[in-house]
Chain A
Amino acid sequence: MVDPVVVVGASLGGLSAVDALRAGGHDGDVVVLEAADELPSDRPPLSKQVLAGTMEPAAARQPLAARLEELRADVRLGFRVESFDVATRRIRGADGTELQASGVVVATGAAPRRLPGPELAGVHVVRTMDDCLALKADLDRGPDRVVVVGAGFIGAEVAATCRELGLEVTLLEGAPAPMVRVLPVEVGSFVADLHRSHGVDVRLGVGVDGLEADGDRVSGVRLADGTLVPAQVVVVGIGVVPSTDWLTDSGVPLGNGVTCDETCLAAPGVVAAGDVAEWLNPHFGERMRVEQWEHAIEQGAAAGRRLLAGDGPGEPFASVPWFWSDQYDRKLQMAGRPSATDEVHVLEGSFAEQRFAVAFRRGDRCTGVLGVNRPRHVVQARMRLVESLDWAPIEELFS
């Protein structure tokens, strides 16, 4: 009997790999191991609609959740993988169960970073449905103020949702503007202004010293400059760490997550996809790890196809990543992979009207296009960027 393909992680990337394996004709067993006791929900609504109470938790389902039977995936929930050995492809569960795999898809995602110090009631991260519902329960108690630590996309979306619920919000960011590690400062400044225009107390360039507690419950956030911001609820959005603990002694190459080649292959018979995977994106000629919804689906599919290619060279996974973020009535979308030092060119509209499309330029290259309530511009630019990253066609498209 042929050993099963084992997919570790039942979120977007893992299930998409299963879909690709079946679509590619793989008829053998596929086992999906998921550490959580429930199938992970679709995540984008967790910082928005489910948190706002406009979507029932049960409606936040992953696209492939309804097709698990059709995909003949043997999904084992509550299965924590303890260790893996790349040479033998043996997987050992925390409960002692051992599995022999013919191929492995690493799709364990990432876990949110937390603030140091003891656990306190009222302090939240937003990664899983349980996280979301715990935060929602605290918001339903009507806190005087919510402090969001970190103005990345999750933090910004949570801040927006809290404001729309009528709550007072302070948004703290250690950098001089939101998202400046990954985007030019103009974009971050726009996001800060957007939140200020909706009544958020945005504070930039301030470090967090620690949390104040009243008993076992948070009562405020102490800033590095000594200021205390009282808060009954604190949401921490300071990034994620790839979930690779179980791979420490596996022989799978690790760096910024699982280190893959341009075909998503990490070791013979071992592929990775989604938040946990860093691969060489041949379209950009750069190594990247992308924490985005659509990317997890696309890379999961590529990883599944790579396993099917077996000992052959496999297809490189060339990608122009794309994501969206809804904040208030604004829809931010970005295609590409800019860096903080790229030039910003306004293609359409203006920051002042909160409706625009900008392109990022590095030399003769367009590294990405970002739109605010400009979905058509972003998708058209993305179609060009998929063809080539040359600057001229992008400029021409909007001239």
Chain B
Amino acid sequence: MQPPSPTGEPRGAEMKVVVNFDLCESNAVCMGIAPEVFEVRDDDFLYVLQEEPPEELREQVTEAARRCPKQAITVED
């Protein structure tokens, strides 16, 4: 993992979190795994808090995508 650049911008390949909201059922599994990125609020909808999360969250985000019962999350590089 690379440290952030002096400006605070992450270096190198960035990931992008894409949720297919036609599939999403708000099971909130993702929120349990990566709460910095996914939040299901009281309206029962999922909110993506960071569409381009920092590299150190990659493992959690990938895990959240893997565990989504609807396979509604994709992580794009």
A379 within 8 A of B: yes
For A44, A297, A375, the residue with the greatest tally of chain B CB atoms inside 10 Å of its CB is A375
Query: Chain B's interface: helix, strand, loop or mixed, by majority?
Result: loop
A89–B32 CA distance with the chains assembled, in angstroms = 39
Q: Mark A328-350, 1 if CB is under 8 A from B, else 0.
A: 00010100000000000000000
CB contacts under 8 Å to B, within A353-378, are 373, 375-376, 378
A333–B40 CA distance with the chains assembled, in angstroms = 14
Q: Mark B33-67, 1 if CB is under 8 A from A, else 0.
A: 00100011110100000000000000000000011
> Which residues of B are found within 8 Å of A373, using beta-carbon distances?
44
B17 within 8 A of A: no
Do A294 and B69 touch across chains, with their CB atoms under 8 A apart? yes
> Which residues of A are found within 8 Å of B27, using beta-carbon distances?
324, 331, 333, 375
Do A379 and B66 touch across chains, with their CB atoms under 8 A apart? no
B14 within 8 A of A: no
Do B69 and A376 touch across chains, with their CB atoms under 8 A apart? no
> Which residues of A are found within 8 Å of B67, using beta-carbon distances?
294, 297
The answer, among B25, B28, B35, B69, for a CB contact under 8 Å with A378, is: B28
B31 within 8 A of A: yes
A352–B71 CA distance with the chains assembled, in angstroms = 33
> Which residues of B are found within 8 Å of A322, using beta-carbon distances?
29
A326 within 8 A of B: yes
A238–B20 CA distance with the chains assembled, in angstroms = 35
> Which residues of A are found within 8 Å of B66, using beta-carbon distances?
63, 297
A334–B77 CA distance with the chains assembled, in angstroms = 34
> Given A63-B66, A324-B27, A383-B32, A375–B44 Cβ distance below 8 Å?
yes
CB contacts under 8 Å to B, within A378-396, are 378-379, 382-383
> Given A297-B67, A375-B40, A331–B26 Cβ distance below 8 Å?
yes
A293 within 8 A of B: yes
Number of B residues, CB within 8 Å of A: 17
A310–B25 CA distance with the chains assembled, in angstroms = 39
Do A376 and B40 touch across chains, with their CB atoms under 8 A apart? yes
A297–B67 CA distance with the chains assembled, in angstroms = 8
* Min CB gap B65→A, angstroms: 9
Residue of B nearest to A376 (CB): B40
> Given A382-B32, A383-B32, A375–B26 Cβ distance below 8 Å?
yes
* Min CB gap B34→A, angstroms: 11
> Which residues of A are found within 8 Å of B41, using beta-carbon distances?
376
A383–B26 CA distance with the chains assembled, in angstroms = 16
> Given A44-B69, A294-B67, A294-B69, A376–B25 Cβ distance below 8 Å?
no
Do B42 and A376 touch across chains, with their CB atoms under 8 A apart? yes
A383–B39 CA distance with the chains assembled, in angstroms = 13
A376–B66 CA distance with the chains assembled, in angstroms = 19
* Min CB gap A397→B, angstroms: 14
A238–B41 CA distance with the chains assembled, in angstroms = 35
A83–B28 CA distance with the chains assembled, in angstroms = 41
A322–B69 CA distance with the chains assembled, in angstroms = 11
Do B29 and A376 touch across chains, with their CB atoms under 8 A apart? no
For B29, B35, B44, B69, the residue with the greatest tally of chain A CB atoms inside 10 Å of its CB is B69
Do B69 and A324 touch across chains, with their CB atoms under 8 A apart? yes
> Which residues of A are found within 8 Å of B32, using beta-carbon distances?
379, 382-383
Residue of B nearest to A322 (CB): B29
The answer, among B29, B31, B40, B44, for a CB contact under 8 Å with A294, is: B29
A293–B68 CA distance with the chains assembled, in angstroms = 11
A63–B35 CA distance with the chains assembled, in angstroms = 22
* A-binding residues in B (CB < 8 A): 25-29, 31-32, 35, 39-42, 44, 66-67, 69, 71
Could you give 29 example pairs across A and B, Cβ below 8 Å?
A44-B69, A63-B71, A293-B69, A294-B67, A294-B69, A297-B67, A322-B29, A324-B25, A326-B25, A331-B25, A331-B26, A331-B27, A333-B27, A373-B44, A375-B28, A375-B31, A375-B40, A376-B28, A376-B40, A376-B41, A376-B42, A378-B28, A379-B28, A379-B29, A379-B31, A379-B32, A379-B40, A382-B32, A383-B32
7 further contact pairs, Cβ within 8 A, besides A44-B69, A294-B69 = A63-B66, A297-B67, A375-B44, A376-B41, A376-B42, A379-B29, A382-B32
